[in-house]
Structure 1
Amino acid sequence: MRLIRPLGVAAATLALALSVSACQNAGPPAQTLPQISFADRAPFRLNVAQIEIVWEYQPPGQYPNVDQVMQVAPGSAIERWAQDRLRPIGRADSGSARVVIRDGSVVEVPLRVDRGFSGAFKTEQELRYDANLKVSIEIQDARHMTVADVTATAQRSRSVPEGLSVNQRDKVLYEITDDLSHEIDRQLDQLIRDYFGRWLVR
């Protein structure tokens, strides 16, 4: 399986490693969240020579985006999806399947909170996370011409209250990724069956 990742994504990964290191030195240890897996689903056996994962989406690497510092970002979950659910079993000249991550953004939106006297007696929603995931699969022939393609999209928004710890917020972001990626899995499962019949090996 071939991975094509923009340089900016590598830089964001380095930033994440530095951020995690700093957090570990500054306070309580960060929780380790499990990988999101699709290994319980039957893989698709495709009559192609290879699977390529292409990161068309490049995390901005700065606020208000937070996907670049998530333990399990939406795009990373799709990498795992491709590894778990797609199997290339074709001849060397039978083309390829490209999994293109077109969007995997998660944006933090501050919400209006009562900072006055009355606000001290209530807990309000402080932030909202808006997440988008868009994934295409392209079948390319031996000449690298696209002969079939499908696209799945999913959006989620979730607000969080004041006073959440870093670990609690990480768990919320993880749940957003889990929900998004399983929705994409559901859509792509049906789209592959409907439109990639010529390339499916039973």
Structure 2
Amino acid sequence: MTLLALLDYTAVLVFALTGALVASRAQLDIVGFAFLASLTGLGGGTLRDLLLDRTPIWITDPAYLAITCGAAVLVFFTAHLLESRYQAIVWLDAAALAVAVPAGAGIALSLGQPAPIILVMGITTGCAGGLMRDVVANEVPLVLKQGELYVTCALAGSAALAIAHAAGLTPSIAALTCALATLALRAGSIAFGWRLPVYKPRPPKV
């Protein structure tokens, strides 16, 4: 198994767990669990593949669907054991982001795409699935929470991968650099309240 495939499998699994946890908060049935888990786990990778003119990963390898549905079943029977499902969602989502971003950026890099496309594909793979999950579940998307570092983390991680590759580092080291940069920023935002400045309206000048 290649490094990029391993990253994709891991990202799909962890994002699927967050989707199933959101389904548990919404008190859905097992089909709802499987739907949200699959949407979250596969949404970002599917959009990435369509934009790059590739067959979506779960069509070429149905094992991805088995992973998302397995995650849904696992959470359906164990979610009640968690003290705070929201905190579990937030931290699992951070871990998934740190894996999905190097997967998306790495695939774009392997296809010979230029730096701007590498950045966009890292962001798309890392953010689109969670955005779809939250919109469908009628929750405020983590991606859009006021000032919170999320898309910024994906952008920084993708840039780190591109820079590491340009510096001649191996694909494994470049992917690790990307993952660490993404996770460090996202964890800092969650644990320490790191934020970007937000727009504040001012009274018009007379």
Whether the TM-score (by the shorter chain) exceeds 0.5 is: no
TM category, shorter: 0.3 to 0.5
Which structure shows the higher strand fraction? 1
Greater gyration radius: 1
TM-score (norm 1): 0.32
TM-score (norm 2): 0.32
Which structure shows the higher helix fraction? 2
